Chain A
Amino acid sequence: MRAVTLYAVVDVDKCKGCTRCERVCPVLAIKVENKKAVVDPENCLGCANCEQRCPEMAITMAPLEQSRVVQESLAGVDMAAVIDLCRRAHLHPKQIICYCTATRAEEVAAAILKGAKSPEEISRRTGVRTGCKVECIQPVLRLLHAAGIAPERPARGYQWYGLTPTVWDIPEEVKKKYAQRGFYFDEDRKLLDSLVGAGEKGGE
Chain B
Amino acid sequence: MLRAPVMPLPPRRSQYGVAPELVRKRAAELPDMVSVLVRDLFPDAAPVIYPGENGLEMIREATRKQMEKVDLSMIKPGDSVNVLGSHHGFTLLGGAPYAEMLRTIRDVVRERTGCTDIRLRVGVGLRFRESEEYIKAFGLDEYYEGKAAGVAPVDEGVAIETEIGTLYGIKKIYDARWIIHAHNSDVREVHFHRQVDRAVKPFGMSYARIETRSTYHQNLGPRAANFVARAIFDSPFVQEKFACAVFLMMSPSGVVGVDADNDLYALNDRVTYLGCRDYGKMMTLLGEIDEAITILDFPSPVPYVFAAGVIFANFAGANRDLFDLDDPLPPYTWYTEAFYGEDGRPLIEGVPPVNPAIKVVIHNYAWGGYPSAFFTEHIPTIVVGREQAELLNRDPQNISYTKHTLLADDLDTAVRFAKRVAGTDKILAFDGASGALNVSRSLGEYLLQKAPLVSRRVDDELLPKWLKQRGIDPSRFKIR
Tell me the number of A-to-B contacts counted with CB atoms below 8 Å.
Answer: 194
Q: Which one of A10-18, A109-117, A144-152, A184-192 is at the interface?
A: A184-192
CA distance A24 to B212 in the complex (A): 16
- How far apart sit A177 and B186, CA to CA, in the bound complex (Å)? 27
* Stretch among B36-44, B78-86, B158-166 lining the A interface: B158-166
Return the chain A residue nearest B157 by Cβ.
Answer: A161
Given the known A-B contacts A132-B126, A164-B165, A174-B163, are A187 and B223 also in contact in the complex, defined by CB atoms under 8 Å?
Answer: yes
For A102, the chain B residues whose CB sits under 8 A away are 373, 400
The answer to whether B128 and A52 have CB atoms under 8 Å apart is yes
Shortest distance from the beta carbon of A190 to any chain B beta carbon, whole Å:
9
Residue from the list A104, A135, A169, A183 in contact with B165, Cβ < 8 A: A169
Is B471 at the interface (CB under 8 A from chain A)? yes
User: A6, A138, A189: which has the most chain B beta carbons within 10 Å?
Assistant: A138
**B153, B165, B337, B398: the one within 8 Å of A165 (CB):** B165
Chain B count of residues within 8 A CB distance of the other chain? 66
Q: Is the CB of B347 within 8 A of A136?
A: no
On chain A, the number of residues with a Cβ less than 8 Å from chain B's Cβ atoms is 66
Q: By the criterion CB–CB under 8 Å, are A202 and B471 in contact?
A: no
Nearest A-chain residue to B399, judged by Cβ: A3
The residues of A that contact B239 with a CB separation of less than 8 Å are none
Q: Give the interface segment out of A28-36, A79-87, A88-96.
A: A88-96
Q: How far is the CA of A189 from the CA of B227 in the complex (A)?
A: 14
- Specify which of B156, B211, B328, B394 is in contact with A184 (CB 8 Å cutoff): B328
**Contacting pair A131 B218 (CB below 8 A):** no
Q: Is the CB of A182 within 8 A of B194?
A: yes
Tell me if B337 and A99 are in contact (CB < 8 A).
Answer: yes
Residue of chain B at shortest CB distance from A156: B156
Closest CB in chain B relative to A180 CB, distance in Å: 4
Task: Give chain A's interface secondary structure class.
Answer: loop
A131→B371 contact, CB < 8 A: yes
8 Å CB contact of A169 from B153, B164, B218, B398: B164
* Minimal beta-carbon separation of B217 from chain A (angstroms): 5
Quick one: which of B126, B128, B400, B469 contacts A53, CB cutoff 8 A?
A: B128
Provide the residues of chain B in CB contact with A170, threshold 8 Å: 164, 224, 227
- Report if A184-B213 is in contact (Cβ < 8 Å); known contacts: A165-B164, A169-B164: no
A161 to B214, CA, bound (A): 12
Chain B residue numbers with a CB within 8 Å of A61 are 394
Chain A residues with Cβ below 8 Å from B221 are 167, 184-185, 187-189, 191-192
CA distance A159 to B460 in the complex (A): 50
Q: In the complex the two chains form, what is the Cα distance from A171 to B156 in whole Å?
A: 29
Question: How far, in angstroms, from A187 to B326 measured CA to CA in the complex?
Answer: 10
CB of B96 within 8 A of chain A?
no
Minimum CB–CB distance from B141 to chain A (whole Å) comes to 14
Known: A161-B168, A167-B220, A187-B223. A132 touches B370 (CB 8 A): yes
Is B196 in the interface zone, CB < 8 Å from A?
A: yes
Q: Which of B113-121, B308-316, B338-346 contacts A (4 or more CB under 8 A)?
A: B338-346
Known A97-B218, A99-B371: A181·B394 in contact at CB below 8 Å: no
Is A198 engaged at the interface, CB distance under 8 Å to the other chain?
yes
Looking at the assembled complex, report how far the CB atom of B234 sits from the nearest CB atom of chain A, in whole angstroms. 10
Kindly state whether residue B348 has any CB partner on chain A within 8 Å: yes
26 pairs from A and B in contact (CB 8 Å cutoff): A3-B400, A53-B154, A92-B347, A96-B337, A97-B338, A99-B337, A102-B400, A104-B342, A131-B399, A132-B126, A132-B371, A134-B214, A135-B334, A162-B211, A164-B219, A166-B220, A167-B221, A174-B163, A178-B230, A180-B471, A185-B220, A185-B221, A191-B222, A198-B348, A202-B341, A203-B348
- A94-B341, A189-B221 given; 10 more Cβ-contact pairs under 8 Å: A52-B128, A130-B396, A138-B211, A164-B168, A178-B227, A182-B469, A183-B196, A183-B227, A191-B328, A198-B348
- Chain A residues packing against B (C-beta within 8 Å): 2-3, 5-6, 23-24, 46-49, 52-53, 61, 63, 92, 94-97, 99-102, 104, 130-139, 142, 158-162, 164-167, 169-171, 174, 178, 180-185, 187-189, 191-192, 194-195, 198, 201-203
